[in-house]
A = this chain, B = another copy of it.
Amino acid sequence: MELFLQTVGSIYDETRVKILKFINKNGELCVCDIENSFEMIQSRISRHLKILKDGGFLKVERRGTWAYYSIRSPLDEFRLSVLKEIDLLDIEIPKLKKGCAL
């Protein structure tokens, strides 16, 4: 139950739904790219990414100073259906703006 609620809770937020859709569309991205594209402060993005990761939707890979987030694979059937549903949602997601200084 706890795991299920964590999974559900991770998508019970407008920002996280958009981030998930954004990563699903654009593929692997680092935090600063998402931060820049969404024009939200870093701590906020970082927190949401962690929640989506803990919810089982994302994985992280650290390379140097960067943390690259991408859709976890393989996804179980339930999370796949969530992703599919989110993909069908008619919502605006920002254009990808690369944001890292280096």
Interface of A toward B, CB cutoff 8 Å: 1, 4-5, 8-9, 11-14, 17, 77-78, 81-82, 84-86, 89, 91
Shortest Cβ distance from residue A85 to the other chain B in the assembled complex, whole angstroms: 4
Residues from chain B with a CB closer than 8 A to the CB of A91 are: 1
The secondary structure that dominates the A interface is helix
A81 to B82, CA, bound (A): 9
A53 to B1, CA, bound (A): 21
Q: Are B5 and A8 in contact (CB under 8 A)?
A: no
Q: Are A14 and B8 in contact (CB under 8 A)?
A: no
- Contact check: which of B5, B14, B89 meets A12 at CB < 8 Å? B5
Shortest Cβ distance from residue A57 to the other chain B in the assembled complex, whole angstroms: 13
